[in-house]
Structure 1
Amino acid sequence: MRGLLVLLLALWPALASAQGTASLVADSVTVDAAGRLIAEGNVEAFYDGSRLSAARIVYDQAADRLSIDGPIFLQGPDGEIVTAERAELDPRLENGLLRGARLVLERQLQLTAGRIDRIDGRYSALTRTAATACQVCDGRAPLWEIRAAQVVHDEVERQLYFENATFLIRGVPVLWIPAMRLPDPTVERATGLLVPRIRTTDRLGLGIKLPYFVTLGPSRDLTLTPYLSRETTSVEARYREAWLSGEIEATGAVSRDSLRPGEVRGYLFADGEWRLAPGRTLTFGLEASSDPDYLTDYGISDRDRLTSFVGYAAVTADSLAEAHLAYHRTFREDEVDGALPPWEGRAAYERRMAAFGGTLTFGGAAEALLRTTDGTGDLARDVARAGAFAGWQRQAILPAGFVLSGGGSVELGFYRIADDPAFDRTVTRVTPAVQATLRWPLIARGTGGTAHLLEPLLAVAWSTNRGGAVPNEDSAVVEFDEGNLDALTRYPGEDAREDGARVAVGLSYTLIAADGTELGLTAGRIYRAEADTGFDLASGLNGLSSDWLLSARLDLPLGITARARTVFDDDLEFDKTEARLAWASPTVDLSATYVYLPVARSEGREESIAEWTVDGRWQVTPSWSLAAEGRYDLSDARPVTAGFGVGWRNECVEVDVSISRSYTSGEEQDPTTDFGLEVSLLGFSAEGVGAVPPGRCRN
């Protein structure tokens, strides 16, 4: 029968200097004439979170030494695992020698050595070492391994130091490195090389990116990435810093290439946020590029407008104060920087309170638009506006379940307009408005817990604009959707407001099933006493009656979602239309989007747009994955972008191969193709090995 012996430190003076209690479990425990403690048969020892198992342990009190016969299994308090055939250690397992040993870190990286020396409880020096995260099978070399004359593991700094190292693939040497340092798998952030990336494009040729990560403390880091090819020499950089009250991130690059010989090209993007006090936030953003093509040439972004800004917001339960200043730059061929306008600023304050049985909201705002082009007219006009508003709303539930809400508001605006003779230099405008909305929610319960909600809607509104005409700077893009069917105005800004009396009618239906299925439908239309000429034809809101609005949403328990919205007239001529279908599951992420936008000169669209966009990823097996994306222009019957990627990973390697193609609209410009290749050796990074189980060894 297996015996149990618990040894207290008080009984063994050699262990009295250490803290904690040592416990020993064995089939047989004896003390010989020399005072040596001998434990044999299924021996297990526990000390300060460490666990040691062996066939035989001999403790020599006079020499303060443990002699251990294997097979030996040692697990440290941090999860580190060591196996060996024989060991000579001190009782605290801090110093000593292990022969025929193997060290396993975080169940990922295994290092096999002819001998391991334990030094000061901090270092493990491995001699004649082979390191790999791959499955090791008898008679076959692992997929990759690093052989070194010596490897030192610093448990405090959590670093691995290799000397005279050779990298092998299936036992074939491919690279010799005299010395290198790598983080062990427990490290979340460590200075060193990241995964290289090979990139091939039609414009820049074959190149390689070699990112180097630098830790600058627990909350700051810097990544420098040289990008080398025959056509370019570039250095990319990313800086990140976080603190208790904010964070900042900046990315940029500097390049010299054959696309623009003799020029220094580059870009800089940055954004940050500071939480000055509870509810008070300061934010900023910076976007700059040396030329219109740099971002697309280097695969950074396809944006053709850049915005830099600084903003402040103070939010409480009943008030909002904000300020915003922005600078815009355009790379579009049909736009001029100075006419965007490039400078735009705004400051506003809003507050609400309970009053007269309802909610009273009031506030004020000031904003300005500054253009830098010379001349007069739309491309040179400067506008400044100061205004105030007050509104009151109340809601009541009437007999038979009717819900009635209503209220009124008044807005006062003072405009100063320069460099545009089409408008008076100063304009004062007053806009009073009233509105009442009646809803009748009808609920029915079906079999199996299914719920049905049918809600008719009737909204009556009136407003008028008193004062001179002003340019419409902030309401050029108008949407008609289920969110503003019963709104007082469909214009998103302050410069334009709906005029006259109007009535909105609508009907919505919602189904909620017990299995998680949800269906929602909304239809509606707006009727006016007088036509509103401020709306563009494409908005569907012009005329005495608007177009019909129809929207639908569907959520299925299998992870399938669908959204659709369209605006059409009595002749079934469709205006703005959009639809999205998505499927999300543990192995599949798939989405498809369709958008149709008719001609709208007020929105800067001289031709209609109809596009399909598809984006998907399929985890075929735990090791293999496929990804694809694409955009197709139905109006011009041509592809816009296309991309395809293949990923493969096992317990120790991850490979990603991608190809993308961007098509241009100009006949003289050829499409560009971008190839990407990334190979990651798992086991040395904080990302770990992942969920891919190791393969099986076959005889």
Structure 2
Amino acid sequence: MRGDRRGIRWGLLCVLAIFASLLRVAWAQEPVSREIPALLQADDVVYDKELQTVTARGEVEVAHGERILLADSLTYNLDTDVITAQGDVSLLEPSGEVIFADYVEVTGDLREGAIRSFRMLLTDRSRLAAANAVRVDGRLTQMRKVVFSPCEPCREDPERAPLWQIKAERVTHDQQEKMLKYRNARMELFGVPVIYTPYFEHPDPTVKRKSGFLSPSFGFSDELGTRFQIPYYWAISPQRDLTVEPIYTTKQGVVMTGQYRARTTGGQYSLAGSATVADKTTGRETKTDVFRGHLDVEGEFNIDRIWRWGFDARRTSDDTYLRVYDFEFDRFLRSEAYLEGFRGSNYFSARTFSYQGQSRRDEDRELPIVLPEIRYSYVGKPGTAGGRFFAEAGALGLTRIDGRDSRRLSSSVGWTLPYTDNLGGITELTTVVHGDVYAANGVDETTDAVNPPDASAAGEDFQGRLFPQAALSYRYPMARQGFLGREVLEPRVQLVVGPNGGNPGEIPNEDSRDFEFDDTNLFRLNRFPGRDRISSGQRIDYGATYSIFGEGYSYASAFLGQSYRINSDDAVPDSAGEDGDFSDIVGRVDVRPLRYLDLSYRFRLDEDNFSAQRSEIGMRAGPPSLQTRIDYTFLKDETDSDSASFGQREEIYAEVRSRFARYWSAYASQRRDLTTNQTLRTRLGLVYHDECFLVDLRAQRDEFRDRDVEPDDQIFVTITFKHLGQFVAEQ
């Protein structure tokens, strides 16, 4: 009977293979291997030598690897090489898909076959059904009277039509071309036909990319009028593609946009942009037929495991173009090229970059052009006593079309030693020496303006600085188990010493302008960002952190700190302490008393009257059924001698979201400037989202104003059909 068992096994493997090949009509699957043995369970197995058939009857179950085939009966004819399975046939795939059929007949070579009452359940609960399916010539699978829907049947009435489905008279799957072709197809909503097409085709799910049109969108705006977009995607090769997306508008003509992408053996690059000839408003004047557009080129390439290089060039024809045509917008467009390397804790980079402003206040001729910026950072391994050396080195060349220029060579060499005593206290000693050499012209030491009006400031000057610093800090964490939870208290004190001064006006301030004194830099040796300014003099920093961790989700943490400055210079803002004076008080509080309630508060208080100089308050409350978010920000007007100045800012943002039903949710938000008592943006939204359908309705009001960018009311409607893409309407 060994030959008989071999015939049985061959027939079972053929049945599994034809099911797997038909399953690939809807989803890519692994092929069936004939090297893996198949296990058969049935009430009765009969081998008829005269008819040359093998028949299994009664709760037939065939297991082949992770695939399982169930049927009432299964027959393999050795003479005709035909396999037949019938009666509640089902095949469970390893990935989770399940195929159902009433009758299956297939040749042993899998080139010809037929399935009657073909049905399939995908892993995402989508359903596909056909009256029958026929396999022809080993590559074509033809299905008749096909129905597809990702919508789950109604629980109360499973026979009711789903929310949407697609019906087609015929569907042909060409496995050689990897295409699905539909004849006489229609889309139904709640069983009512809404769209009909005699023919359409799309790639099968095994294809990750294929040339063709993508989902279109249309909308309305005061500036552009009616707009319509329909992208075309061109798969040039497995490593390259091109997307062309013209924007048709009734008021400003056609805007041609596109993106080219490519992968190489060592990296990738892309080229995106847009161009149009349209009207442009500048103040009270409107210019007609003006060229407008933008360019965005980026790439990154690996040289080896340590080194890589790249570039990112972003430019636009004018500073309102991106906002008018709803492209990605940043306050400044940065173009750069770079080389960088990573090895352990060490890092090297060489960059060159420039900026383009996107506001009427920006003077592009005064924005810096960096040629180049070189940085190197070294962190040594701990020595025998636990000490560690560190070093930094750099070079900077900065120029402007109008304004001052500067060149800088810089380095820092330091050593740090941490020590933990028997009581758990941690002492840390840090020493560092900073060295900088500057060559600058156009610098006026009486002002920090990048383009000073005084012609006498146009001369070139050389400046040097050698600045040693040392710090000794001590912190002692203490913990105990209290009745509210585990409590941790960690006081910390630090003494910082260094020479007075060190920030002469002849040194241009380029990278240390945005000084901000808060809880994050209280214990830093140099609180300034960048290297052009340094925290000189002597000071004592002190503060304490208290945390409590309760059961479940509850916790609370608070930090409070201050600094006493023994002496300083004019470059250090008053908030960090004047000579012989205390700094502002900085701190933060984070509290989560309940699972759905988070509170935060960051602050800086005046040391004399405790008035708020900076406040950031945040709240997150509520479960998904009703969530509330409130953010409040207050920044007092600060104008210091050598740091950036800005007017007082006070803003509040509020948002409410509610998932008030299984598939329904709504949200509302508003951002308001409390200084000018003006609303900046208001948004309202209503969303329906189930397993196969999404409708997102949004209304938005923007109050931003900048020449041809005016306050705008917009309505967005997004409709998404699962597996079919999305339809977008805007007003």
Q: 1:396: which partner in 2? A: 419
Cα offset for 1:330?
Answer: 0.9
Cα offset for 1:329?
Answer: 1.0
Cα offset for 1:565?
Answer: 1.7
Moved more, 268-277 or 673-682: 268-277
Cα offset for 1:326?
Answer: 1.0
Q: 1:225: which partner in 2? A: 245
Asked if structure 1 preserves the Cα contact closer than 8 Å seen for 2:512 and 2:528, the reply is yes
Q: 2:187: which partner in 1? A: 167
Q: 1:455: which partner in 2? A: 491
Q: 2:399: which partner in 1? A: 370
Q: TM-score, normalised by structure 2?
A: 0.81
Q: 1:661: which partner in 2? A: 701
Cα offset for 1:310?
Answer: 1.8
Cα offset for 1:218?
Answer: 5.5
Which amino acid letter does the alignment assign opposite residue 702 of structure 2?
Answer: S
Q: 1:42: which partner in 2? A: 59
Matches within 5 A, 1:580-619: 580-582=618-620, 591-601=629-639, 605-614=645-654, 618-619=658-659
Q: 1:554: which partner in 2? A: 591
Cα offset for 1:235?
Answer: 3.8
Asked if structure 2 preserves the Cα contact closer than 8 Å seen for 1:523 and 1:549, the reply is yes
Distance change in 2, residues 1:287/1:616 (3 Å)? farther
Give the counterpart of 1:434 among 464, 470, 488: 470
Q: 2:119: which partner in 1? A: 102
Secondary structure at the counterpart of residue 478 of structure 1: coil
Q: CA-to-partner distance for each residue in 1:455-492, whole Å, 9 max, x for gaps? A: 14242423334585322222111111222212222222
Asked if structure 1 preserves the Cα contact closer than 8 Å seen for 2:565 and 2:578, the reply is no
Q: Distance in 2 between matches of 1:210 and 1:228?
A: 9
Q: Distance in 2 between matches of 1:190 and 1:215?
A: 6
Q: Does 1:8 align with 2:1?
A: no
Cα offset for 1:156?
Answer: 6.8
Matches within 5 A, 1:420-499: 420=443, 421-422=456-457, 425-447=461-483, 450-465=486-501, 469-499=506-536
Q: CA-to-partner distance for each residue in 1:613-668, whole Å, 9 max, x for gaps? A: 34565544452233444321111111112223333233322222223221125799
Q: Distance in 2 between matches of 1:92 and 1:166?
A: 35
Q: TM-score, normalised by structure 1?
A: 0.84
Q: CA-to-partner distance for each residue in 1:305-360, whole Å, 9 max, x for gaps? A: 11111222223335332222111111222221111224463112233445795333
Q: Distance in 2 between matches of 1:626 and 1:599?
A: 37
Q: Does 1:300 align with 2:327?
A: yes
Q: 1:319: which partner in 2? A: 346
Secondary structure at the counterpart of residue 296 of structure 1: helix
Secondary structure at the counterpart of residue 203 of structure 1: coil
Q: Distance in 2 between matches of 1:336 and 1:14?
A: 79
Q: Does 1:415 align with 2:438?
A: yes
Distance change in 2, residues 1:496/1:122 (3 Å)? same
Identical-pair percentage: 24
Q: 2:683: which partner in 1? A: 643
Distance change in 2, residues 1:580/1:9 (3 Å)? same
Cα offset for 1:158?
Answer: 5.5
Q: CA-to-partner distance for each residue in 1:142-190, whole Å, 9 max, x for gaps? A: 4333333320134576542212323333344333333322344566555
Q: 1:252: which partner in 2? A: 273
Which amino acid letter does the alignment assign opposite residue 445 of structure 1?
Answer: Q
Which amino acid letter does the alignment assign opposite residue 316 of structure 2?
Answer: S
Q: Does 1:532 align with 2:557?
A: no
Distance change in 2, residues 1:483/1:94 (3 Å)? same
Which amino acid letter does the alignment assign opposite residue 250 of structure 2?
Answer: R
Q: CA-to-partner distance for each residue in 1:106-130, whole Å, 9 max, x for gaps? A: 5554343333112355432112333
Secondary structure at the counterpart of residue 162 of structure 1: strand
Asked if structure 1 preserves the Cα contact closer than 8 Å seen for 2:125 and 2:152, the reply is no
Q: CA-to-partner distance for each residue in 1:519-569, whole Å, 9 max, x for gaps? A: 2222222222335322345x5545633211122223457264443221121
Q: 2:600: which partner in 1? A: 563
Distance change in 2, residues 1:541/1:285 (3 Å)? farther
Q: 1:336: which partner in 2? A: 363
Q: CA-to-partner distance for each residue in 1:251-288, whole Å, 9 max, x for gaps? A: 43334556674234322334443343334332432222
Q: CA-to-partner distance for each residue in 1:385-442, whole Å, 9 max, x for gaps? A: 1123322332334565543323333222221111334486112222232322233333
Matches within 5 A, 1:349-360: 349-353=376-380, 357=385, 358-360=387-389
Secondary structure at the counterpart of residue 164 of structure 1: strand
Moved more, 226-235 or 68-77: 68-77
Asked if structure 1 preserves the Cα contact closer than 8 Å seen for 2:46 and 2:54, the reply is yes
Q: Distance in 2 between matches of 1:102 and 1:481?
A: 64
Q: CA-to-partner distance for each residue in 1:664-698, whole Å, 9 max, x for gaps? A: 2579974112332222221457x9xxxxxxxxxxx
Secondary structure at the counterpart of residue 405 of structure 1: strand
Secondary structure at the counterpart of residue 590 of structure 2: strand
Distance change in 2, residues 1:147/1:363 (3 Å)? closer
Q: Distance in 2 between matches of 1:294 and 1:410?
A: 47
Which amino acid letter does the alignment assign opposite residue 107 of structure 2?
Answer: D
Give the counterpart of 1:287 among 308, 314, 329: 314
Q: Distance in 1 between matches of 2:707 and 2:362?
A: 21
Q: Distance in 2 between matches of 1:448 and 1:419?
A: 62
Gaps of at least 5 residues in structure 1 are 374-379, 688-699
Give the counterpart of 2:409 among 386, 402, 411: 386
Distance change in 2, residues 1:337/1:532 (3 Å)? same
Distance change in 2, residues 1:653/1:185 (3 Å)? farther
Q: Distance in 2 between matches of 1:630 and 1:418?
A: 47
Q: Does 1:572 align with 2:610?
A: yes
Moved more, 385-394 or 21-30: 21-30
Distance change in 2, residues 1:86/1:261 (3 Å)? farther
Secondary structure at the counterpart of residue 365 of structure 2: helix
Asked if structure 2 preserves the Cα contact closer than 8 Å seen for 1:213 and 1:222, the reply is yes
Cα offset for 1:372?
Answer: 0.1
Asked if structure 2 preserves the Cα contact closer than 8 Å seen for 1:22 and 1:45, the reply is yes
Distance change in 2, residues 1:22/1:90 (3 Å)? farther
Which amino acid letter does the alignment assign opposite residue 570 of structure 2?
Answer: T
Q: Distance in 2 between matches of 1:209 and 1:661?
A: 23
Which amino acid letter does the alignment assign opposite residue 116 of structure 1?
Answer: A
Asked if structure 2 preserves the Cα contact closer than 8 Å seen for 1:480 and 1:541, the reply is no
Asked if structure 2 preserves the Cα contact closer than 8 Å seen for 1:109 and 1:185, the reply is no
Asked if structure 1 preserves the Cα contact closer than 8 Å seen for 2:489 and 2:544, the reply is no
Q: 2:147: which partner in 1? A: 130
Asked if structure 1 preserves the Cα contact closer than 8 Å seen for 2:73 and 2:87, the reply is yes
Moved more, 285-294 or 248-257: 248-257
Matches within 5 A, 1:112-123: 112-120=129-137, 122-123=139-140
Distance change in 2, residues 1:9/1:227 (3 Å)? farther
Cα offset for 1:103?
Answer: 4.5
Which amino acid letter does the alignment assign opposite residue 573 of structure 1?
Answer: S
Which amino acid letter does the alignment assign opposite residue 429 of structure 1?
Answer: R
